[in-house]
Amino acid sequence: MALLFMVMLTTAAGNTAMQSVMPSIGTALGIADVWISLAYSWSALLWVVCAPFWAGRSDRRGRKAMMALGLTGFAISFSLCGLMLWLGLSGYLTAFWALILCAAARSLYGGFGSAAPPAVQAYVASRTPRAERTQALSLIASSFGLGTVIGPALAPLMVLPGVGLTGPFVIFALMGVATLIALRLRLPNDEPQFAAKGGMYETPYSGSPTADPVETSEEDEDEPYVEPHKLRWFEARLRPWVITGLIGGHAQAMVLGIAGFLVLDRLGLRATPDEGTGPIGLVLMAGAIATLLAQWGLIPRFNLGPRAATLSGIAIAAFGVAMLAVAGTIHTIALAFAIASLGFGLFRPGSTSGTSLAVTRAEQGQASGITASVAGASYIYAPALGVWLYGHSDWLGFGLIVALCLIVFAYGFFALQQDSDLTRNR
C-alpha cells in the first residue's frame, strides 16, 4: 500500500506545485490568465479519452505495468514542460511558443500519465471487501490530498537560482523517476491470472498469498455474477454517480482554476508575480489540509458511506465557495478555500466509491477508468471557463460554481442509492 500511496502522492504533489507557480509564470510571460488555464485543456481531453483504455489494459496486462507507464509519462511531461517554460522566461522562446510547447509536453501526462490512477484504484478495489471499500479508496484518495499539501508547501522552496520559477518542474520530474524505480523494484508483478493460478489474485483478503482461494472468496460468491461487458458512462447502474461526479467535478475545477489568480488580484501582486508563489502555495496548502481532514478524519470517524459523503460534501463546498467570493485578505481567502476543499474532499471519495460499489468486482478496472475520465472531463474547459467568467465578474464566476453545487445536491438527494443498499454484501 505504501508504494501505491507514493505513486499517487508524487503525481499529486507535482501537479499542485505546478498550479502554484503557473499563475506567476503566466504573469511574468505576459500571457492572459484564460490562456494559462486553457493550456491544461488538451491534456485533460487526452486524459478522458485514454484513461478507460489504460484501465481496460490494466485488467489484462496488470496494474503494475500501467502504474509504471503513468509515472514515465509524468516524469517526461514535467521535464519537457519545465524546459519550454524556462526557455520562454529566459527569452530564448517567445511567450506564445513557450506556452504552446508546454501544452504539447503536458499532453504526455494526459495521454500516458492517465494510466496510473485507474490502475491504483483497481488494485485497491479488487483487494477490499465491499463494506470497507469506501475507506480504502478514501485512503488512496487522501494520498492525492497529502500530495496537494506537500506540493504547494515545497514549490516556493524549489524556485532556485538558474531554473527560477521552473524549479518545481525539474525536481518533481526527478521524484517521478525515483518513484518509478522503487515501483519496478519493490511492487510484486501482477500480470493477469485466473483465480486459481498465481498468488496475487487468488487470495485478495488473506494476509498470506498462499492461502486457499476457496476459503477466502466467500464475498465474491455472494456478489451476483454479471458477465463483464464494456461499461458505458450513463448506463443505469452508473448514471447517478457519473452525473454527480461530472457536475461536481466541474465546480471543483473552476474553483481550482480561479484560486491562484484570485490571490494575485486580491493581494495586489500582479506587478511582482515572483512574490505570488508563496501566498498561492499557502492557500492551496490550506485547502489540501482540509481535504486530508475530510478523507483521513471525517469519513472513517463517522463511517460515511458514498451517498452521505457526496451530499454533505457538496453542501459544505457550496458554503465555502460563497465565502471565497467575498474574501479579501490572505487569511479569509485561505479559510474560505479550506472550507470549500473540505467539502470537495468528502464529495470526491463519495462519488468514486459509489461508482466502484455500483459494479461487480470483475468490472472494477473499467469502473476506475470511468472515474478517472469523469475527473479528467471536469478539467477540459471548466478551469478556463471559470477564469474567463471571473475575469469579467467575480459574482458571475462564483455564482455559477455555487449553482452547480446546489444542482448536484438536489439531484443526488433523489437519485443516489442509499448507503445501506450499496455497502451490503450481495
Element (H, E) at 324: helix 306-326
Q: What is the pLDDT of residues 134-193, one digit of tens each?
A: 667 767 766 766 777 788 888 888 888 888 889 999 999 999 999 999 988 887 666 543
| Highest mean pLDDT: which range of 37-51, 320-334, 377-391 | 320-334
Q: Does the domain formed by 234-425 have CATH 3.40.50.2300?
A: no
Per-residue pLDDT, 1: 65
Mean pLDDT of the chain: 82
DSSP H helical ranges for 90-229: 95-111, 116-125, 133-154, 167-186, 218-222
Per-residue pLDDT, 275: 86
- Whether 346 has a pLDDT exceeding 90, the answer reads yes
Angle 124-126-132 from CA coordinates, rounded to 5°: 70
Per-residue pLDDT, 142: 67
Fold type of domain 1-189:
Growth Hormone; Chain: A; (1.20.1250)
Closest by CA to 261, choosing from 24, 14, 13, 85, is 24
Per-residue pLDDT, 228: 57
More confident residue, 398 or 135: 398
Q: What average pLDDT score do residues 382-393 get?
A: 92
Residues of the chain with CATH 1.20.1250.20: 1-189, 234-425
Q: What average pLDDT score do residues 317-328 get?
A: 96
Q: What is the pLDDT of residues 227-250, one digit of tens each?
A: 556 777 778 788 999 999 999 999
Q: Give dist(CA 286, CA 303) in Å, integer.
A: 24
Per-residue pLDDT, 207: 33
